[in-house]
Amino acid sequence: MTDDAAAPENYPAHARRLQVRQVTFQAEGINSYELVDPDGNELPPFTAGAHIDFYFRDGSVRQYSLCNDPAERHRYLIAVLREPNSRGGSEGLHDRVHVQRTVNVGEVRNNFPLNPDAERHLLLAGGIGVTPMMAMMAELRANGGDYTMHYCTKSPRHTAFRHELADLVEEGRVVLHHDGGDPRQGLDIAGLLAEHEPGTHLYFCGPPGFMRAIQNAAKDWPEGTVHFEFFSAAASPKSTLTAEEMAAAGEGSVGIGFQVQIASTGAIYFVANHKSIAEVLTENGIEVETSCNSGLCGTCKTRYLTGDVDHQDLIMSPAEQGEYLTLCCSRSKSELLVLDL
């Protein structure tokens, strides 16, 4: 976050300075923040599923989904859960970001868009994972899309945007599931996803256990019909590997040194086990843009020409991974990766 005394060098050149117009209590531990241009100008457009980078004075960056109607050009709306084990992002927002405060955000990016070819959209939200779904439903309503959202929370008081969703609940477009803290008492994910109805696309976002349950239940759905977004690297199933499992993966696992070659110059650099490709390139004078440094945002997505990539991102499809890697977290199973730089 920022204020007028913040050092400008802590923020990228493209950072956009916005003002907090309103902070709203949405549910237990969840606030929403309405961000506007201080001079009343329109903001860059976005599509449902998009997020913005939120820059903090200490140089850290967090990603937050935009949850307002994409047709709105006068504001961005984000909602943030205060995490008990926060690395500083959510606590900083809850404790220090107030009305009239200025903040710095990055460009809008979308790694979680609606598929325009889908006949039906099935949205599954767990807790704060409802944020991208709010924009999705607004866009689908505007386009006449067929959708249903199942929204899973602990209780009504843990349910963000409950009042905004009331009419959709009445219409049957949104189904609320409260489990009292025991997932076994909530939505029957396996039963819901046991059969794929042709033309249906699935979208889901939520906490780690919720994500794993849905991925397992939808593992037999046709390729290209399942879409998801992790809101933290810790939610990824890749983060559940034990040290023994990592070692058993052999020399292709994360942390093994390898070389990268720049196709345009032929220069070769060694990537040690404690450095990322992005770090090595930056140290050698090759400017690359990064943001989340955990494979969540796609800022550093780069085409590669040859090599066997150990992908660690959380955003690209298998088809995209056949052409691209993420400089912040991808490793190599081969001795050499050739980058299209």
Q: Which residues of 218-245 are buried (b: 16+ CB within 10 A; e: fewer)?
A: beeeeeebbbbbbbbbebbebeeeeeee
Homologous superfamily of 249-339 in CATH?
Answer: Beta-grasp domain (3.10.20.30)
On whether the CB atoms of residues 153 and 161 are closer than 8 A, the answer is no
Going from N- to C-terminal start, the domains of the chain cover 8-105, 120-238, 249-339
On whether the CB atoms of residues 332 and 308 are closer than 8 A, the answer is yes
Report residue 268's pLDDT band, with 50, 70 and 90 as the boundaries: confident
**Separation between Cα atoms, residue 244 and residue 44, nearest integer Å:** 46
DSSP calls for 296-317: SS-TTEEEEEES-EE---SS--
Amino acid 98: pLDDT: 93
Q: What is the mean pLDDT of residues 321-341?
A: 90
All residues at 6 or more sequence positions from 241 whose CB lies less than 8 Å from its CB, including other chains: 249
**Separation between Cα atoms, residue 200 and residue 122, nearest integer Å:** 7
- Which class for 303: exposed (0-12), middle (13-18), buried (19 or more C-beta within 10 A)? exposed
Domain 8-105 adopts which CATH fold?
Elongation Factor Tu (Ef-tu); domain 3 (2.40.30)
Which CATH number, 2.60.120.960, 3.40.50.80, 1.10.10.60, 3.30.460.10, labels domain 120-238?
Answer: 3.40.50.80
Output phi, psi for 168, to 5 deg.
-70, -30
Lowest mean pLDDT among 21-30, 74-83, 212-221, 266-275: 266-275
Q: Looking at the DSSP assignment, which residues form a beta bridge with residue 261?
A: 268, 338
Q: How many C-beta atoms lie closer than 10 Å to residue 196's C-beta?
A: 16
Q: What is the mean pLDDT of residues 182-195?
A: 92
Amino acid 318: pLDDT: 82
Amino acid 9: pLDDT: 53
Report which of residues 290 and 195 the model is more confident about.
195
Amino acid 88: pLDDT: 59
Q: Looking at the DSSP assignment, which residues form a beta bridge with residue 125?
A: 151, 205
Instruction: Please check the confidence at residue 243 and state whether its pLDDT lies above 60.
Output: no
Residue pLDDT, tens place only, 290-327: 877 777 788 889 999 999 998 888 788 888 898 999 99
The SS3 assignment for 242 reads coil
Report which of residues 197 and 93 the model is more confident about.
197
Indicate the residue type of 249: A
